[in-house]
Chains A and B, each alone.
Chain A
Amino acid sequence: NAGVTQTPKFRILKIGQSMTLQCTQDMNHNYMYWYRQDPGMGLKLIYYSVGAGITDKGEVPNGYNVSRSTTEDFPLRLELAAPSQTSVYFCASLGSDSQETQYFGPGTRLLVL
């Protein structure tokens, strides 16, 4: 199993541009999450999904959108990039056993200039 994979690893955007951060997991996990981590800080939840076709807002959803058309994929969309969205973005997934930990992808580093 590859686990949780994210693309791209690094991206520079200009203000107002849009992009999609990709996240895929091959563990057949129902739960998937998007976090952002600013320098020296903890992780903040942007959006999450409890299964295909179901998404919900986390703590900091403004400026982002998500979709979950399949169990494997959970893309995060930035429509109008702003400097405040400069951050490291982590995708995570969790199986049905709530005793398990969330598995994290390697992260996408985004710089908005």
Chain B
Amino acid sequence: GQNIDQPTEMTATEGAIVQINCTYQTSGFNGLFWYQQHAGEAPTFLSYNVLDGLEEKGRFSSFLSRSKGYSYLLLKELQMKDSASYLCAVREEDAGNMLTFGGGTRLMVKP
């Protein structure tokens, strides 16, 4: 089984940088995903980490440390449209490529 923790809510200011943390415990780690979910919509893929280090995609970056069971999503130059929930999900080594999701972090970006 898995245990995935992330903060419930965060608030940040437009133009700023925000870091959303995710910690996990798993028996057979096989990748970590970050998704963005706007209210009333489906999750959309942001990033994927399977090796330690930083993956950068424009304003969004994701970091992974497998030894610490830790990841973060970094959002730069925040825009109002970044107000959404951010879901951390971990995949275990199994036949189904299943994901286990954290509870999500609701980010509110204020002017």
Contacts and interface: CB of A to CB of B under 8 A. Distances in A.
Given A41-B104, A42-B87, A104 B43 contact: yes
Contacts of A42: 4, 87, 89, 101-104
Contacts of B29: none
18 contacts: A33-B98, A35-B101, A40-B103, A41-B104, A42-B89, A42-B101, A42-B103, A43-B87, A43-B89, A45-B98, A56-B96, A98-B97, A102-B45, A102-B99, A104-B43, A104-B44, A106-B42, A107-B42
Contacts of A98: 30-31, 91, 97
A35 B100 CA distance: 10
A103 to B, nearest CB: 8
Interface of A: 31, 33, 35, 40-45, 48, 50, 56, 58-59, 90, 94, 98-99, 101-102, 104-107
Interface of B: 4, 8, 30-31, 33, 41-45, 48, 50, 87, 89, 91, 95-104, 106
A98 B33 CA distance: 12
Contacts, number: 56
A11 to B, nearest CB: 16
Given A42-B89, A42-B104, A43-B43, 20 more contacts: A31-B96, A33-B98, A40-B8, A40-B104, A42-B103, A43-B89, A44-B101, A45-B100, A50-B95, A50-B96, A58-B98, A90-B42, A90-B43, A94-B97, A99-B48, A101-B33, A101-B45, A104-B44, A105-B42, A106-B42
Most buried by B among A40, A43, A48, A59: A43
